[in-house]
Amino acid sequence: MAAGRARGEKYSVLLPTYNERENLPLIVWLLVRSFRESGSHFEIIIIDDGSPDGTQEVAEQLEKIYGSDKILLRPRAKKLGLGTAYIHGMQHATGNFIIIMDADLSHHPKFIPEFIRKQKEGNFDIVSGTRYKGNGGVYGWDLKRKIISRGANFITQVLLRPGASDLTGSFRLYRKEVLQKLMEKCVSKGYVFQMEMIVRARQLGYTIGEVPISFVDRVYGESKLGGNEIVSFLKGLLTLFATT
């Protein structure tokens, strides 16, 4: 059971939050349960960007409940975006592996033991969750969103041949030094950022394993990345196409 502990492996989960008051306690509870069951050594780093809904206050309660060795609060004063939230969180991570996931319950912690198993199985540098393979899938998407997602994924596969099936997902496990290196190299924003991470990882010769995940669209709270998603996605895709 404690194979991970014996080898000195520790997993740092980065949870960026913005207005996730409802979701944060639930995701933390599920994470703790999943890690306790698998017996892995872990810490959860919550990076809240001054959410007006009081996410930080809930985070403080969770820190008291689970202990400040398990729940680390690394808030920032204002909304500075996801990319820098990961960098900020990573600087405080003490694990040798880092797991990045959304705090909105669309990424279920039950897959983390599978990520860990996969990583060990192939000694991978990165393990990426995928909605597009095997038992992977989505819940709560209408036909339009599915078409866009499948279409965008197809075009990306054709143009970039990235060697991973889910480029825009953000549920992944990285070796810490690999994530550090990738963060230095990647400049894109939003969905394109996740895509660039995989493309650069391939360029640098890192290995990538994949685990099918079910993505359940957020139950609580508002969608934050809206607006001109498609246009900025295409722009980013073409930029990567021309430069990598």
Partner 1 sequence: MTKLMQWLFVLALLGTAWATLALGPLGHHLPLPCQQVLHPFPAYLLVAAGCYSLATVGYRLATFNDCEAAAQELQEQIKEARMDLWRRGLKF
Ligand X SMILES: Nc1nc2c(ncn2[C@@H]2O[C@H](COP(=O)(O)OP(=O)(O)OP(=O)(O)O)[C@@H](O)[C@H]2O)c(=O)[nH]1
The footprint of ligand X (CB under 6 A) covers 16-18, 20, 47-49, 79, 81-82, 85, 102-104, 106, 218, 223-225
Cβ-in-10-Å burial (0-12, 13-18, 19+) of 240 comes to: buried
The footprint of Mg ion (CB under 5 A) covers 102, 104, 106
Out of 215, 221, 233, 236, the only residue in the binding site for partner 1 (CB under 8 A) is 215
Residue closer to ligand X, measured from CB, 104 or 125? 104
Could you tell me how many residues make up the chain?
244
Angle, helices 176-185/190-203, rounded to nearest 10 degrees: 110
Return the bridge partners of 14, or none. Answer: 45, 100
The CB-of-23 to ligand X minimum distance in angstroms stands at 7
Read off the DSSP letter of residue 109.
Answer: G
225 binds, among Mg ion, partner 1, ligand X, none (CB under 5 to 8 A by kind): ligand X
Site for partner 1 in 16-35 (CB under 8 A): 22, 25-26, 29-30
231 binds, among Mg ion, ligand X, partner 1, none (CB under 5 to 8 A by kind): none
| Residue sitting closest to Mg ion (CB) | 104
Structure tokens given for 57 = 């206050």
Site for partner 1 in 168-207 (CB under 8 A): none
Return the bridge partners of 210, or none. Answer: 128
Site for partner 1 in 129-148 (CB under 8 A): 132, 135-140, 146-147
* Residues in CB range of 30: below 8 A, 6 or more apart: 108, 109, 110
How far is 24 from 45, CA to CA, in rounded Å?
12
* End-to-end Cα spacing for the chain: 42
The CB-of-154 to partner 1 minimum distance in angstroms stands at 5
Residue closer to ligand X, measured from CB, 41 or 195? 195
Residue closer to partner 1, measured from CB, 150 or 185? 150
* Residues in CB range of 176: below 8 A, 6 or more apart: 12, 90, 93, 95, 96, 97, 98
* Interaction site with partner 1 (CB under 8 A): 22, 25-26, 29-30, 58, 61-62, 65, 105, 108, 132, 135-140, 146-147, 150-151, 153-154, 158-161, 214-216, 219, 240-244
